[in-house]
Structure 1
Amino acid sequence: MHFTETQLTNDSYGHFLNSTQVFSPDDEWIVYDTRNDDGGIGVTGRIEMANAKTGEITPLYRTQNQTPYGPGVGAATFSPVDQTVLFIHGIRNASQNNPYGFTRRTGVAIHTAKPFEPVFMDARNIVLPFTPGALRGGTHAHSWSGDGQWISFTYNDYIMEQLAKTDSTVKDLRTIAVMMPEKVTVPDDGTMENNNGEYFSAVVAKVTENPKPGSDEIEKAFDEGWIGRKGYQKPDGSWQHRAIAFQGNVRDEKNETIAEVFVTDIPDDITKASPGSPLEGTARTRPNLPQGVLQRRITYTQQGIQGPRHWLRTTSDGTLILFMAKDPKGIVQVFGVSPNGGAISQITFNDFSIQGPINISPDDAYVSYIADNSVYVTGIKNHLSERLTPTSSDEDAPFGAAIWSNNGKALAFNRRVKKGAQRYVQVFLLKEQ
């Protein structure tokens, strides 16, 4: 593979890429937020996009009344099917007493033809009576399904967070949720804590405060990815059309926490509750899973998933889930497993650890990542690794993820570039020659 590196952005502020889905469907634009470091969403007020050919900047959204406490925006992604950008948005009444936080954020979309006109995607209602299809906390790290119709995200519940302050048996446990197109209306309490949503949301991973050692119970579900563009094929030949792969924290036999690969199969209709388990939860219980959701543990390892924070990725045909773990030498490598379970295969065999999130090329041939202060790709079938950028000093090194364009002919990534006395996060491109 031969790629040429160019610097796309230059302005004296941050241009922070999400870990995936940053290219517009036609690959003409790359979306980012204006953070200058990881974290910091609460103090960041702008979403922009840069033309992938010319570097022209187009502003998309700016928060109103931005303060050091919020609302804040970040982690922007492009829909794979239309000119819609989705990002985290802090609750609009953010203040010193109620700052941006895990349970105080939501998903907002912008149609690029209508900048500065926010569309609230997931509904939020933290006031009794709660509303089916609306969540009661904060949504985060949104990812579009392959067909661009559904959205997955991690979720933290405000009601449980507040209850935990007076009840030591309760914890706010991160979990996974999804939303599908169906408008949800909630009461307006006049505080901007609640909002309507264009999509219907439901939690799809079950978590518990005290998982039994050696069991498949989990206390945290996180860093998910949609399986395949159209789901995956089960051993009996049938297709599961919507499914999520995610990391779940379990307790091993020694009662130590490790992360393993889980899959949750999702029905086409998430609006139906199981008897006695309201989707919206109660004042003392978290939201419940829709009827028909099936959660399964896929891996049973000794050390679990290890390495830098990363989201699970799958091949477009849904046959392989990629994750990171340490090899016998203690080096962080990429491994793969079927959503049906079975043997784990090693994908990378590097002499150095991977430094950030992974992504799979559109043709399923390569996995991309940052390692040894360079952008790397490895053949998923032949396991051959190739360095695409020269190795750099720690200050100048690529960081975060290397994200494929939709046609597979470019990769976008971040570097910190010195300008005057400061360093600013800039967007770089590797274009196939």
Structure 2
Amino acid sequence: MKQVTFSPRHHQLTNINTWTPDSQWLVFDVRPSGSSFTSETVERVQIHSGTTEVIWRAQQGAHVGVITVNPQLPERYVFIHSPENPDENWQYDFHHRRGVTVCGGQVANLDALSITAPYFPGALRGGSHVHVWSPDGQYLSFTYNDHVLHERDPALDLRNVGVAVPFGPVNPPLRHSREYAGSHWCTLVSRTTPEPQPGSDEINRAYEEGWVGNQGYLKPNGERQRYALAFIGDTRSVQGETIPELFIVDLPDNEAAWKTQGDAPLAGTPETMPAPPAGVYQKRLTYTHHCAWPGLVNQPRHWVRASPDGEHIAFLMRDNNGVVQVWLVSPNGGECRQLTRLAHDVQSAINWHPAGKWLGFISEQKIVMCSYPEGKILELTAPQEEISGDAVVFSPDGQFIAWMQPDEQGFRQIYICQTGC
């Protein structure tokens, strides 16, 4: 186990894509806590020398954080940016933030903003969050909250999942001082409703998404679905309880399809959320309402993760004894398979090793790997007194795994260890 950051401040890793493609640098922000968006810089650290570099420094009262790296060269970074010159009417919030990219020192807004009707297709009407490139480095996923509906009624501002595709730029007419242009065409790909029908596949929240496969996944007919996202959606049981289930959306692979309206306006209306493009429909993969412990877990917070070959989607759910375990399901649906048989809960977010033979996470305060398909546990560290479950992330070459834990002074530092594979 090796500590790679040492400064007297906190260091925050994102839950995936925190390594540069050469496996030499880790990116981070310096928030004092995961929920406090007050970092003025996003930075990177060289894992062997401990050298740190500032990638971007916010100005004009803005803050930045939740940085990820494009898995393909050239090195490109994306992160959340809060509003410049915040005031009492416009400050950082779920519906007031945007994605910003940096490549070769050049900075650009990822998503455009259009909050005056008629809204502009390809632009968002609110805030994007946790931007993650697809494995081929072409598309980006994000979670989304809507300013327009938030102004009408915060209860209508439902969390959704969106995608940014490189078919911009998007230049809406700037009729409000807070509107701006963006480099990518952005649309929502999930569909929510404020009051899901009990017992149905309707959801009122879509979140914690993950790309499916490095090259997508194979359908039962042998056809390859090139791009797809899995995510958690909050359903409602017949008893009225919120039960998180797993969903998937198949996505287009061409510009025309992304820009074709479906049964509702891509940009939304004053009364409705932006809608997915034509042909993009969410499909439910898990049906756990009948289980002793129904639903995917929200604690620990985790993001659903597909194996590199796209054959399995991993997620966390309790077993019949109430213990949080890793489960697998095919992107085509079917029975869920329990992978781990732990005596104690999985305590963190999860990620696949690049070779697809292991999953990494925290269990009993230790960094561990679980083998696939056997489900055997390999302990990489001794138990730690304190350890963060926010991120357990493999390097692209598979040789290292990174996480966070406090040092003796209580500052959250970044640590790595070798995986042995």
Identify the TM-score tier after normalising by the shorter chain: over 0.9
Q: One-letter code of the match for 1:76?
A: I
Match of 2:113 among 115, 124, 127: 124
Structure 2 Cα separation of the partners of residues 143 and 364 of structure 1: 19
**CA deviation digits over 1:353-400, x for unaligned, max 9?**
011100000010111111211111101211001221111223xx3432
Q: CA deviation at 1:72?
A: 1.9
Q: Is the 8 A contact 2:314 2:329 kept in 1?
A: yes
Q: Is the 8 A contact 2:300 2:389 kept in 1?
A: no
Tell me if 1:427 matches 2:419: no
Structure 1 vs Structure 2: percent identity of aligned residues?
35
Q: One-letter code of the match for 1:407?
A: D
Q: Is the 8 A contact 1:375 1:398 kept in 2?
A: no
Give 1:178-193 correspondences, 5 Å limit: 178-182=163-167, 183-189=169-175, 191=177, 193=178
Q: Unaligned 5+ residue runs, structure 2?
A: none
Matched with 1:254 is: 239
Tell me if 1:15 matches 2:4: no
**Equivalent residue pairs, number:** 410
Matched with 1:176 is: 161
Structure 2 Cα separation of the partners of residues 225 and 265 of structure 1: 12
Matched with 1:383 is: 375
Tell me if 1:405 matches 2:400: no
**CA deviation digits over 1:31-54, x for unaligned, max 9?**
00111211111x211100011221
**CA deviation digits over 1:384-424, x for unaligned, max 9?**
01221111223xx34322100001000111111133xxx21
Decide whether aligned partners of structure 1 residues 400 and 282 sit closer, same or farther in structure 2, where only a CA change above 3 A counts: same
Q: Is the 8 A contact 2:67 2:79 kept in 1?
A: yes
Q: Is the 8 A contact 1:80 1:147 kept in 2?
A: yes
Question: Which ranges of 4 or more aligned residues in structure 1 deviate by more than 6 Å?
Answer: none
**CA deviation digits over 1:321-378, x for unaligned, max 9?**
0000111111101000001111110111111101110000001011111121111110
Give 1:9-408 correspondences, 5 Å limit: 9-41=5-37, 43-66=38-61, 71-82=62-73, 83-111=75-103, 113-114=104-105, 117-164=106-153, 171-182=156-167, 183-189=169-175, 191=177, 193-268=178-253, 269-274=257-262, 277-302=264-289, 303-306=294-297, 307-394=299-386, 397-408=387-398
User: What RMSD, in angstroms, separates the aligned Cα atoms of the two structures?
Assistant: 1.4
**CA deviation digits over 1:160-193, x for unaligned, max 9?**
111116xxxx6110011001002111223462x2
What is the TM-score normalised by the length of structure 2? Answer: 0.95
**Which structure has more strand as a fraction of its residues?**
1
Q: CA deviation at 1:118?
A: 2.2
Structure 1 Cα separation of the partners of residues 388 and 185 of structure 2: 37
Structure 1 Cα separation of the partners of residues 32 and 52 of structure 2: 17
**SS of alignment partner, residue 159 of structure 1:** helix
Q: One-letter code of the match for 1:273?
A: Q
Q: Is the 8 A contact 1:74 1:87 kept in 2?
A: yes
Structure 1 Cα separation of the partners of residues 211 and 384 of structure 2: 33
**CA deviation digits over 1:79-129, x for unaligned, max 9?**
000201111111223234422100001111112x31xx4211111111222
Q: CA deviation at 1:21?
A: 0.6
**SS of alignment partner, residue 340 of structure 1:** coil
Q: Unaligned 5+ residue runs, structure 1?
A: none
Q: Is the 8 A contact 1:139 1:156 kept in 2?
A: yes
